[in-house]
Structure 1
C-alpha cells in the first residue's frame, strides 16, 4: 500500500496547479481568455502525467522496500513559470526522494525509468482515444472536447517523458543511462520520436495518418 504524508500531498497539489498553469501559459502566451479555456484540458493531461509519473517512482521505490516521498522544489517551480512565458516549460517542480542507505545503479535506474514509462504509456492511451473519437469530432461537441483533451494529454506526456530522460543533472535520464545504455537509448528514442511528431506535424495529423483519413 502506498502511503502519503500530509506535506507530500500538499506539495503534489501545489506542483500540479503551478505546472498546469505553466503549460497553459506556454500554449497561449498572455491571452487570459485562451488560458481560461485551455487550462481545464491541460490539467487533465498534466494531472495524470505529473501525478502518475511521480507515483511510478514512489511505487517502484516502495516495491524495493524503500521509503519514498515527493518534495517540492520552489526554485524549480519558479523557473518553470518564467520559461513558460517564452513558449516552453522547464518542468522541474520537485522529485520523489528515495531514502536508502545503499542502492545499486540497477535499482536506481529501475526506479528512475518508471516515471517516463508511465508518461509514454499515458501518451499512447491518449493517442488511442483521440484516434477513436476523431471521426465523430466534426459534428459532436463532446467528441471534439475529448479529442482536444487527448491531444494535449499526448503532447504533454510525450514531452514529460522525453524531458525527464535527458541525461542532465539529477533528471531520470542520468540514472537510467548509468544503469543500462541500451534501455536509455530505446526509451528516449521512443519519447523523442513521439515528441518530435507532435511538434512537427501535430496530433491531428498523426491521428489522420493512423486511420488513413
Structure 2
C-alpha cells in the first residue's frame, strides 16, 4: 500500500517550495517582482516534476516490497538556493530512501530510473499540451497562460531528467549506469536532446516547428 509518514509529507512540501523558489530565481533573475510573478507558474512544473519524480522512486520501491520514504537534505536545499543566484540549480533537495537488507543492481537501477522517466514523460506531456493550445494563445489570455505554464513545465522537467541521470555521486544516473549501460545511454540521450532543444531553440520555436509554422 502507498503510505506516507507525516515527516515525509513535511519534507516533500518544504523541498517543493524551496526548489520552486530556486527555479523562479533562475527565470526571474534578481528582480523580486519578476521572481514573485513567475513563482506560481514555476510551481506547476516543479510541483509535477519534483513530486512525481520522487513518487516514481517510491512506487517502484514499494512494488518490489521495500519500504521507501522521502527525506529532506537541508544542505542540498541550501546549495540549490545558492546556485540559483548564479543562473542554474543544483537540484538535490533530498531523496527517497529505500530500506532493504539486500538489493540487486537491476532492482536498484529500475527504482532509480523511475524518477527521470517520469520527468521525461511529463516534459513530453507539457510539450504536447503547449503544441495543442498554441494557435489559440494569440487571442485567448487563458490559452496564453497555459502555454507559458507548459513551456516552463517542459523546460524544468527535461532539465530534471538529464540532471538526475548524470552518473555523479548518489544521483540516479550512477545506479542506472551500474545496472545497464544501454538503458542509461538511451534515457540520458533523450533527456539531453529535450533539454538542449529547450535551451537553444526555446519552447515556442519547438512548437512552431512541430506545427510547421
TM-score range, shorter chain: over 0.9
TM-score, length basis structure 1: 0.99
Q: How much has 1:38 moved relative to structure 2? A: 0.7
Q: How much has 1:150 moved relative to structure 2? A: 0.1
Partner of 2:54: 54
Q: How much has 1:151 moved relative to structure 2? A: 0.1
RMSD (Å) for aligned C-alpha atoms: 0.4
Partner of 2:75: 75
How many angstroms apart in 1 are the aligned matches of 2:210 and 2:201? 13
Q: How much has 1:80 moved relative to structure 2? A: 0.2
Partner of 1:128: 128
Q: How much has 1:71 moved relative to structure 2? A: 0.2
Partner of 2:210: 210
How many angstroms apart in 2 are the aligned matches of 1:37 and 1:131? 24
- CA deviation digits over 1:48-102, x for unaligned, max 9? 0000000000000000000000000000000000000001000000000000000
Moved over 3 A (4+): none
- Count of matched residue pairs: 213
- CA deviation digits over 1:126-150, x for unaligned, max 9? 0000000000101100000000000
Partner of 1:33: 33
The answer on 1:108 being equivalent to 2:108 is yes
1:168-207 correspondence to structure 2 within 5 Å: 168-207=168-207
How many angstroms apart in 2 are the aligned matches of 1:209 and 1:73? 40
Q: How much has 1:190 moved relative to structure 2? A: 0.1
Q: How much has 1:28 moved relative to structure 2? A: 1.1
Q: How much has 1:32 moved relative to structure 2? A: 1.1
How many angstroms apart in 1 are the aligned matches of 2:140 and 2:28? 25
- CA deviation digits over 1:11-39, x for unaligned, max 9? 00000000000000011111111111111
TM-score, length basis structure 2: 0.99
- Secondary structure of the 2:138 match is coil
Gaps of 5+ in 2: none
Partner of 1:16: 16
Gaps of 5+ in 1: none
Partner of 1:164: 164
